[in-house]
Amino acid sequence: MKIEPKENIPLSSYSTMRLGGPARYLLEITSPFEIEPALKWAEEKNLDVMMIGQGSNIVWNDAGFDGLILVNKIMGLEMQDNEYQAFAVIGGGEPWDSVVARIVDANLSGVEHLSLIPGTAGATPVQNVGAYGREIADVLVCVQAYDRQANKMVILSKTECDFSYRKSRFNTVDKNRFFITSVTLALSHDNPMPPFYPALEAFLKSHNITQHTAKNIRQAVIEVRNSKLPDPAKVANCGSFFANPIIDNMQLDSLVEQYPGIPRWEIDSDNTKISAAWMLEQLKLKGYHEPNTGMAIWDKHSLVLVNENAPNTASLLAFRDAIVKKVEEKFGVTLQQEPELI
Ligand SMILES: Cc1cc2nc3c(=O)[nH]c(=O)nc-3n(C[C@H](O)[C@H](O)[C@H](O)COP(=O)(O)OP(=O)(O)OC[C@H]3O[C@@H](n4cnc5c(N)ncnc54)[C@H](O)[C@@H]3O)c2cc1C
């Protein structure tokens, strides 16, 4: 198979933050069979290779990527549905929200809470995408992937993916080892069951929605998300830019003494997750525009950094660093970036 990647392609077109330098080579992959020849081609040239989806969780450095980027465009959605069980096998390059829409239209449930999450189906296991109290690990059966260590296609069961909160082996110990070509999900004929996440519950109550069908839950999720999050097709952003910090009991006690109102969620007996959004709001940063960098914080969601007219990634990073410093100075907590910087 002849591999003909494009050369010197601006990666700003492959990130919803719309910043970053060029990829030395870039190739859109439409079939799993293209992966092996592409890897061989890159190996001969001694180039790094990585696979991406829509770049909704990537910030590219200004230097770009001095290797080969494979953009996953492997399509297909096959549903197997009988009276008792329903499964969907989804090509890794399928736009995730269109997958959710088709599953919900088929009167199946399981992914409706994950409506409107940008990106591809193949990227959902990477950070175990989640929203409104549900995550892809809840429905994932297995992934099919090209294993760059074994040099062959493999099937990894859900257990083998090693999922935890926004983590899997794909973004930790085995980063860049597996190129995910398809995901298989187990779906349900039953309606989604309460209790629902507070923001969703409040929306359902205030709109008098008592029928908890997958369609109604999807619609509610879409409306709640649209009221808070910018549409990456219109406003350049990568969703939540900062993760909620997880701190130990000692740090928690001293923080709560000073700020009793800080929203927090116990993870286990030793660790607690605290609200990064709340800290930024205390610093009056919600809706803050910074003309020097061309960056801003979204006025309806303080964790979302938006690129209004930043000239480059360095400007975004300067803006990020200034925010991290302010939070450190006031709360003694260091915010971690959620999207990957490559
Ligand atoms: C407005 C907005 C809202 C968001 N809301 C949420 C949310 O509610 N919950 C949530 O979890 N995330 C959210 N995100 C983050 C993002 O949507 C997810 O991380 C998404 O899964 C990224 O998909 P992608 O195709 O764009 O992946 P990319 O950004 O292209 O890639 C992300 C990482 O996955 C790797 N990768 C991608 N595809 C593959 C593949 N096929 N095989 C192997 N590795 C791969 C890449 O190498 C990279 O390391 C949001 C983002 C935005 C912009």
Shared domain check, 180 and 92: yes
Per-residue pLDDT of the chain (342 residues; tens, 9 = 90+): 888 999 999 999 999 999 999 999 999 999 999 999 999 999 999 999 999 999 999 999 999 999 999 999 999 999 998 888 899 999 999 999 999 999 999 999 999 999 999 999 999 999 999 999 899 999 999 999 999 999 999 999 999 999 998 899 999 999 999 999 999 999 999 999 888 988 899 999 999 999 999 999 999 999 999 999 999 999 999 999 999 999 999 999 999 999 999 999 898 899 999 999 999 999 999 999 999 999 999 999 999 999 999 999 999 999 999 999 999 999 999 999 999 999
Shared domain check, 284 and 266: yes
> What residues contact 84, with CB distance under 8 A and at least 6 apart?
none
Shared domain check, 221 and 83: yes
- Residue 128 CB less than 6 A away from ligand 1: no
Neighbours of 254 (CB within 10 A): 12
Number of domains within the chain = 3
Output the CA 196–ligand 1 centroid distance in Å.
24
User: Of 207, 228, 249, at which residue does a domain stop?
Assistant: 228
Range of the domain at 146: 77-228
CATH code of 207's domain: 3.30.465.10
User: Of 45, 72, 99, at which residue does a domain stop?
Assistant: 72
Shared domain check, 85 and 157: yes
Shared domain check, 82 and 62: no
- Report the catalytic residues: 166, 240, 338
Residue 1 maps to a domain:
no
Cα 84 to Cα 81, 108, 136, 144, 187, distances in angstroms: 8, 12, 21, 24, 10
Shared domain check, 209 and 180: yes
Shared domain check, 221 and 110: yes
Indicate the top mutation candidate among 16, 57, 163 to test ligand 1's pocket, ranked by most ligand atoms within 8 A of CB.
57
User: Can the peptide bond before residue 195 be classed as cis, meaning omega within 30 degrees of 0?
Assistant: yes
- Residue 35 CB less than 6 A away from ligand 1: no
Shared domain check, 49 and 170: no
Shared domain check, 306 and 269: yes
